Structure 1
Amino acid sequence: MKDMQLNSTGGISRAVIWLMAVISGLVVANIYYNQPLLGLIAKDLEVPESAVSRISVLTQLGYAAGLLLIVPLGDKLFRKKLILTDLILVFVSLVGMAFGTELWMLYIASLLIGITSVIPQLFIPIAAELSSDKEKSSNIGTVMSGLLLGILLSRFIGGIVGELWGWRAMFGIAAGIMVAVWFAVYKMLPEVHPNFTGTYGQLMKSVFNLAKTQPVLRLASFRGAMAFGSMCALFTTLVFHLENPPFNAGSSVVGSFGLAGAVGALAAARVGKLQQYLDLNRIIIYSLLVVLGSWLFSYFAGATYWGLIVGVILIDLGVQSSHIMNQTNYFMIKSNAVNRLNTVYMVSYFIGGSFGTWAASIAWGHAQWSGVCSVGAVMALAALAAHLVFSRKVQSEK
């Protein structure tokens, strides 16, 4: 097994890196399967669309809670054992979602799916710690690529499976996939020893201390939260918009918009090269302007497929570009608490996503698509305004 885990130079093997990339995509997909299925769930349970949209809100809030409460444990516990235990809880949560017969049952299952599906954020530090200096950036990038593809393809797959076999089938299939993932982790993943010897309370206190004392981290977290919330506002309500005239489309069409988003998001993966020509703050400005501009297409051409496709491509491009730059920004902080820096940012990121989902569902109930576009544009504008007002001051305080 050692040969599978380590290469000839002592670094982590490419087989394990690709394993973590694939598993990252499969696990993070659990959070997003529900988005194209909300319309089917609403019809099956005979509940309002606004009520069923809380499933997405609770999943994202659960993920934020898992990032806060579970991910820091990667510094304190043996990581392989932590991941194997967590995968069992993911499986139970997905089974609960597949067999839930009441809306409140789906609420609980969705919250638990979010809390437990944080394994990719435990893999990234493993890739960093076990890689040689020469391979570190490449290995982390490979794991992140798997994570990104899981997010993007999950909506497409969820929509197709939902239309062919029903929404429950998607969660049943996902539960089966987690069983296979458990055995793959057990057989192939190397063990990583803890690097924090304090209590859990001290560990969590250090997370809050970072949030309190690092203005660069706070600004990056706010920008990320608002941008991701803006994107969630679009994808959560897109299913309701496309079910109405002039589209009258099914869940498979809704899910296929995830493929359109992949164009923008994968293009964003190369945004780091722009730092050869532009400073980081300027790239963030342009990224957030792209997010804001995406809502112009979604609003003014939102009754056409081409308008929505352009809107989806642009919002994924803008959000993922700003996300990469945000992480670059706070990883420049001189600190060995990299996992905990990431915890603060990612918790804020998914709280913002939950808020955007909640606000968009309220706006849909009152003003349909125009209300959703207003929510998304306001959140993008808030991110841009905060950056323009505070970025120079924050950089001077570093």
Structure 2
Amino acid sequence: MEQTITEKRPINITHPGISNGLVMLMAITCGLVVANIYYNQPLLVQIAETFHLTINQVSIIATITQVGYTLGLLFIVPLGDKTERRKLILVKTFGAAICMIAAAFSANFYMLVAASLFVGIFSSVPQLLLPMAATMAPATSRGKIVGKVMSGLLIGILLSRTLSGFIGAHLGWRAVFLIGGLATAGLLAILSVKLPKNPPTFEGSYASLMKSLITLTKEMPTLRQAAITGFCMFGAFSVFWTTLVFLLEGSPFFFKSDMVGMFGVIGACGALAAPLAGKSSDKKGPHFTILLGIIAAIVAYVIMGFSGTSLIGLIAGVILLDVGMQVTHISNQSKVFALNPEARSRLNTVYISSSFAGGSLGSLLGARAWSAYGWPGVCVLGTSIILFAFLINIKKSKQ
């Protein structure tokens, strides 16, 4: 049974509730910290010029940052069930600030790659905050509250490109990393005062904690389905956003990084769907909204595939893709959090690790598709990945 996974000496905790102010702080934190992972994407061409790299070589920066994020999810986020979450969040936020500043002062490409890896590892803070919010929220409004916190994360993912593109065009790519690091340090000071303690729910060794990830995955088919869906959706999402800079800075657009970053503002409009997705998941069930999100993403890639030289077509595609991504992700996460309250950090680890593994692979394959086949190849790749997620979820609906 998915609801009755046995925990090793679980600790009984109370749920004090969550205020609107704390929800807002969590949303802002998610946005500012996760932005550290995506600042580099509009800057890849500038970084390539600085270190005399090819497009394939510089794309490693985007990929390695997401690899680091996945490693942080897999090996650190599960500790949110075993240790006090507030302390863990503060330590990781501190690490993210230091690594961002280190990236700004990288003397060579290899130093930047190393700094980017650790930026990713320490920037998995949102995946500790989301289980924390889900634990403190009433069951009847959990989807709505998770949606609000997620909206901050999703806006951060998208607007990070806008800020990065604008700052990079005027001050250079190093300034982006420096400002991001200082902003994260400022956030750390606020969190140390405002963030409440959140007791652990698991007693046992780190080895038993990690072993339980395998047990949860084996015994919960719903978790496996959500993980595969997240892998595909984040993969297709990264295929697009990693290669968009190459499309827009070349013919026929010849945009600079500030204009490329403006597409993040367009995509952020889709973040308005986050709280609505949470409400819909509470009322109609997550499977319905997951299918809607997948269909929206497929339509987005079809539109962009036939209008790669049209700004209107790209704008429509960006909005649809981001709406589809957000609706699917929030619905998946609400479904996962409901499986076992005492294991939310670990459930989230399985789901998000799979999602960002897909994102890492999407960044890598997207760059290869662009180099080999141009924009049509990118759109075929993205559509194919999302279609697999659609088939997985349609199969489930017929069972």
Q: CA deviation at 1:140?
A: 3.7
**What code does the residue aligned with 1:167 have?**
W
Does 2:392 match 1:386? yes
C-alpha change, 1:249 and 1:330, in structure 2 (3 Å) is same
Q: CA deviation at 1:138?
A: 5.3
Asked if the contact 1:31–1:113 (Cα under 8 Å) also holds between the matched residues in 2, the reply is: yes
Q: CA deviation at 1:49?
A: 1.0
1:368 match: 374
Once the two structures are superposed, residues 51-87 of structure 1 have per-residue CA deviations (whole angstroms, 9 ceiling, x without a partner) of 1111111111111111111111112122222222222
Q: CA deviation at 1:10?
A: 5.8
Pairs within 5 Å for 1:270-285: 270-274=276-280, 280-285=286-291
1:74 match: 80
Gaps of 5+ in 1: 1-8, 394-398
Gaps of 5+ in 2: 1-14
2:178 match: 172
Q: Which of the residues 35, 41, 55 maps onto 2:41?
A: 35
2:324 match: 318
**What code does the residue aligned with 1:316 have?**
D
Does 2:197 match 1:191? yes
1:221 match: 227
Q: CA deviation at 1:335?
A: 5.4
Q: CA deviation at 1:384?
A: 1.1
Once the two structures are superposed, residues 281-323 of structure 1 have per-residue CA deviations (whole angstroms, 9 ceiling, x without a partner) of 4443332122111112211111111111111111111111111
Q: CA deviation at 1:218?
A: 0.7
1:47 match: 53
Say which SS state the counterpart of residue 97 (structure 1) adopts. helix
C-alpha change, 1:65 and 1:391, in structure 2 (3 Å) is farther
Asked if the contact 1:156–1:254 (Cα under 8 Å) also holds between the matched residues in 2, the reply is: yes
Asked if the contact 1:219–1:391 (Cα under 8 Å) also holds between the matched residues in 2, the reply is: no
C-alpha change, 1:391 and 1:12, in structure 2 (3 Å) is closer
Asked if the contact 2:143–2:279 (Cα under 8 Å) also holds between the matched residues in 1, the reply is: no
**What code does the residue aligned with 1:84 have?**
L
Asked if the contact 2:150–2:330 (Cα under 8 Å) also holds between the matched residues in 1, the reply is: no
C-alpha change, 1:88 and 1:281, in structure 2 (3 Å) is closer
Once the two structures are superposed, residues 251-302 of structure 1 have per-residue CA deviations (whole angstroms, 9 ceiling, x without a partner) of 1111111111122232354134556996644443332122111112211111
Q: Which of the residues 182, 192, 207 maps onto 2:188?
A: 182
Asked if the contact 2:131–2:348 (Cα under 8 Å) also holds between the matched residues in 1, the reply is: no
Pairs within 5 Å for 1:1-398: 11-131=17-137, 139-274=145-280, 280-334=286-340, 336-393=342-399
**What code does the residue aligned with 1:37 have?**
L
Partner Cα distance (2:57, 2:84) in 1: 40
Say which SS state the counterpart of residue 270 (structure 1) adopts. helix
**Quick check: 93-102 or 268-277, which moved more?**
268-277
C-alpha change, 1:313 and 1:12, in structure 2 (3 Å) is closer
Asked if the contact 2:69–2:123 (Cα under 8 Å) also holds between the matched residues in 1, the reply is: yes
Partner Cα distance (1:203, 1:329) in 2: 22
C-alpha change, 1:373 and 1:141, in structure 2 (3 Å) is closer
Asked if the contact 2:143–2:278 (Cα under 8 Å) also holds between the matched residues in 1, the reply is: no
Asked if the contact 2:144–2:279 (Cα under 8 Å) also holds between the matched residues in 1, the reply is: no
Asked if the contact 2:144–2:276 (Cα under 8 Å) also holds between the matched residues in 1, the reply is: no
Asked if the contact 1:268–1:318 (Cα under 8 Å) also holds between the matched residues in 2, the reply is: no
Once the two structures are superposed, residues 121-158 of structure 1 have per-residue CA deviations (whole angstroms, 9 ceiling, x without a partner) of 21223334445667766544432222222112111111
Say what the alpha-carbon RMSD is for the aligned residues: 2.2
For normalisation by structure 1, the TM-score amounts to: 0.90
Q: CA deviation at 1:100?
A: 1.2
Once the two structures are superposed, residues 107-127 of structure 1 have per-residue CA deviations (whole angstroms, 9 ceiling, x without a partner) of 111111111001112122333
Q: CA deviation at 1:207?
A: 1.2
Say which SS state the counterpart of residue 351 (structure 1) adopts. helix
